[in-house]
């Protein structure tokens, strides 16, 4: 397979090399998840890829907390925390409940804890 055959999403040649192991590439390509799986997955990991969000998620994996508590715990402004909570909401990682003036945040489900555990296992070795 020559350089000019290099495929890409838009049909144009994008890579700058010949294929060295055509069989390997073909096997991997055929096993590759379709659609937007990778896009969704990388977006999920983005939520864990920021120090502040990671701490927020971890804190919420301990207890339900309001914005003030989180801001106090992490030594940050309510605004900064609130912006991050919005991202986490949009990613369906947290739920919230408003009681009076106070908004309480909780983890959406236990997948988050599992993802944490996998990560910590790798870091603590």
Partner DNA sequence: ATAACAATTGAACATACATTCAATTGTTAA
Partner DNA sequence: TTAACAATTGAATGTATGTTCAATTGTTAT
Given the rule CB under 8 A, which residues bind its own copies? Answer: 6-9, 14-21, 24-25, 27-29, 31-33, 37-42, 44-46, 48-51, 54-55, 58-59, 62-66, 68-69, 71-79, 102, 111-112, 114-115, 118-124
Smaller CB separation from its own copies, 80 or 86: 80
Binding positions for DNA, rule: CB under 7 A = 14, 17-18, 20, 46, 49-52, 66-68, 76-80, 82-87, 96, 98, 100-104
Smaller CB separation from DNA, 4 or 98: 98
Question: Which residues contact residue 88 at a Cβ distance below 8 angstroms, ignoring those fewer than 6 apart?
Answer: 47, 53, 56, 57, 94
- The alpha carbon of residue 12 and the mean position of all alpha carbons in its chain are separated, in whole angstroms, by 30
φ and ψ of 12, to 5 deg: -95, 155
What are the Cα distances from residue 115, in Å, to 17, 56, 62? 37, 14, 15
């Amino acid at each position: 397979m020559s350089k000019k055959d290099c495929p890409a999403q838009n049909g144009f040649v994008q890579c700058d090399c010949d294929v060295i192991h055509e069989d390997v590439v073909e096997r991997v390509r055929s096993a590759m998840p379709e659609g937007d799986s990778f896009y969704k997955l990388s977006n999920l990991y983005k939520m864990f890829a920021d120090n502040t969000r990671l701490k927020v998620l971890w804190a919420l994996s301990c207890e339900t907390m309001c914005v003030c508590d989180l801001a106090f715990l992490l030594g940050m402004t309510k605004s900064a925390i609130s912006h991050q909570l919005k991202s986490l909401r949009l990613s369906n990682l947290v739920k919230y409940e408003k009681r009076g003036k106070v908004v309480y945040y909780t983890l959406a489900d236990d997948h988050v804890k599992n993802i944490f555990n996998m990560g910590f296992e790798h870091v603590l070795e």
